[in-house]
């Protein structure tokens, strides 16, 4: 049945033939959509909820698959409006993302082998990055690596794989006037997305005792680990 299994075919913008200017345009389009859908919302809600507001005054955070770091900029500004100091380090595999990131702390590298010692950051987060991993064993490594470098919290958010969301996203990206490639990648992203039982199995395989997995608003899947 359609969507019963996740797709593993590569997204257009993950192909190694994409040029730097194509990737730049892609990241700009992604940022336009992310701003409209308020993609930082789950992190605004869940970081204070899971850590407690009193613990949020001063946090170091690592964003995995951060692209040009928009999520960190939005969350830093939001935290500052509450007199909280949140300091982001961004990590992404793509060197074009590093060139586009205006922030002071960006590392080019893989979520599968994080270039940081154990417990380097208060919080480790990721937004719509995990579905870019094809193999289950890589997702297990990604979860373990995130937990290794986190002192207090891991919060990972991705796309839930279901038909109403897929249709809605396809229509939304089309109505927003974005290009054909982005529209087809948006659909493929949902097809590469997850169900809660799949993440539960991968979290257990990673040995993350106490981790929680849940679905929100029919669109998102989240995993949290409070240490
Ligand atoms: C859909 S974008 C998400 C960007 C941003 N986090 C957001 O929420 O819009 C996925 C990003 O993950 C990066 N990525 C994919 N595989 C990765 C890996 N193994 N290690 C680090 N980054 C990776 C890609 O280069 C891309 O910038």
> Whose Cα sits closest to atom 14 in ligand 1?
65
Q: Which two tokens stand for residue 168?
A: 């809605």
Q: How many CA atoms lie within 13 A of 188 on its CB side?
A: 16
Check if 94 has its Cβ closer than 6 Å to any atom of ligand 1: yes
Reference 124, options 97, 98, 91, 147; nearest CA is: 147
Q: What is the pLDDT of residues 92-107, one digit of tens each?
A: 999 999 999 999 999 9
Which residue ranges make up each domain of the chain? Answer: 22-226
Q: What is the pLDDT of residues 1-16, one digit of tens each?
A: 679 999 999 998 888 8
> Whose Cα sits closest to atom 13 in ligand 1?
65
Whether the CA torsion 203, 159, 66, 111 is positive or negative: it is positive
Check if 108 has its Cβ closer than 6 Å to any atom of ligand 1: no
CATH superfamily of 22-226: Vaccinia Virus protein VP39 (3.40.50.150)
21: burial class by Cβ within 10 Å (0-12, 13-18, 19+)? Answer: exposed
Q: What is the pTM of this model?
A: 0.97
Which residue(s) pair with 225 in the sheet?
A: 154
Q: What is the pLDDT of residues 14-68, one digit of tens each?
A: 888 899 999 999 999 999 999 999 999 999 999 999 999 999 999 999 999 999 9
Distant-in-sequence, close-in-space partners of 123: CB < 8 Å, separation ≥ 6: 47, 51, 59, 60, 61, 62, 150, 152, 153, 154, 155
Check if 51 has its Cβ closer than 6 Å to any atom of ligand 1: no
Check if 186 has its Cβ closer than 6 Å to any atom of ligand 1: no
Output the CA 134–ligand 1 centroid distance in Å.
13
């Amino acid at each position: 049945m359609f969507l019963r299994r996740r797709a593993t075919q590569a997204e257009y913008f993950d192909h190694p033939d994409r040029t730097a200017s194509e990737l730049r345009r892609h990241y700009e389009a992604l940022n336009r959509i992310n701003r409209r859908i308020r993609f930082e919302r789950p992190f605004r809600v869940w970081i204070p909820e899971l850590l407690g507001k009193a613990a949020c005054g001063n946090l170091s955070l690592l964003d995995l698959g951060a692209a040009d770091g928009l999520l960190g900029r939005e969350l830093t500004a939001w935290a500052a409006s509450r007199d909280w100091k949140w300091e982001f380090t961004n990590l992404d595999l793509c060197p074009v993302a590093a060139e586009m990131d205006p922030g002071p702390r960006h590392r080019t590298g893989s979520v599968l082998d994080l270039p940081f010692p154990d417990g380097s950051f208060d919080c480790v987060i990721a937004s719509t990055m995990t579905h870019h991993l094809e193999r289950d064993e890589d997702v297990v490594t990604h979860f373990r690596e995130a937990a290794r470098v986190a002192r207090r919290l891991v919060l990972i958010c991705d796309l839930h794989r279901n038909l109403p969301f897929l249709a809605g996203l396809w229509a939304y990206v089309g109505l927003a006037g974005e290009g054909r490639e982005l529209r087809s990648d948006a659909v493929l992203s949902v097809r590469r997305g997850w169900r809660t039982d799949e993440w539960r199995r991968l979290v257990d395989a990673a040995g993350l005792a106490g981790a929680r997995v849940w679905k929100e608003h029919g669109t998102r899947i989240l995993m949290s680990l409070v240490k």
